[in-house]
Amino acid sequence: MKIWTSEHTFSHPWETVIKATFRKYPNPLNTAVKGIDVIDRQVKLDGTLQSHRIITSEWALPRWISSLLCLSSSKTCYASEFSTIDPLKKEMTLKTKNLTFCKELSVEEKLTYFPHPIEPNQTLLKQEAVITVHGVPLSSYIEDIITSTISTNADKGRQAMEFVINKLNTEMQGISTVYQKSVDDLKAQVKRSIPEEIDIPHPHLNYTTRKS
């Protein structure tokens, strides 16, 4: 069994990072993930949002490892992901476990997102993975290779998050620009509809008020 851990700081608020996690796939930097299906999603009585998703990906192990583990030649793999978002604590936890090849190989991952304890406008990500190869020779060596693959994929995942966050920011800037243009157009339309001279009747005085 191998345990891999890592920490990473995103220079973005927690709310922004959490939005990005739901729009992380597909992206051009993390092409191994081919699809995500939501099995269940509900808000619990304690206010947390809990989701269960199935992740479809392509994870090509070296041929000799596949042969040693008697794994199928198919590259398609499935994993089960359970996530919990606690908006009060500002914490999101994702736990993922492989469904494919689980008798020969077990990979359990946990990701936790929460505001940085010192920099409140930044978000800290803690990752942990437990890799276990069952009942074959060279299991420790194989676990090292898989751990290295997870580390590489984690780096790609962080780059993908930055890609999605930049995309979200661009979309928000576009919405803001469109909104401001609509407001300006409305103001101009209202201004054009008001006549230059407005007669205001008064019960006692007889004069004309001009719009300055």
pLDDT tier for residue 59 given thresholds of 50, 70 and 90: confident
Separation CA 144–CA 147 (nearest Å): 5
Residue 162 lies in a domain: yes
Residue 182 lies in a domain: no
Mean pLDDT to the nearest integer, 160-177: 79
Size (the chain), residues: 212
Residue 95 lies in a domain: yes
Residue 47 lies in a domain: yes
Residue 192 has what pLDDT?
61
Which phi and psi (to 5°) does residue 165 adopt? Answer: -65, -45
pLDDT in tens, 67-124: 777 666 667 889 999 999 999 999 999 999 999 887 788 999 999 999 999 998 999 9
Task: Supply the CATH number for residue 160's domain.
Answer: 3.30.530.20
pLDDT tier for residue 189 given thresholds of 50, 70 and 90: low
Residue in 207, 187, 188 with CA at minimum distance from that of residue 198? 207
Residue 194 has what pLDDT?
58
More confident residue, 43 or 207: 43
More confident residue, 202 or 24: 24
Domain count of the fold of the chain = 1
DSSP code, position 7: E
Residue 206 lies in a domain: no
Amino acid at 22: F
Residue 178 has what pLDDT?
46
Mean pLDDT to the nearest integer, 175-194: 54
Q: Among all chains, which residue has been given the structure tokens 């719009």?
A: 211
pLDDT over 90 percentage in the chain: 52
The domain containing residue 22 runs over which residues? 2-170
Residue 202 lies in a domain: no
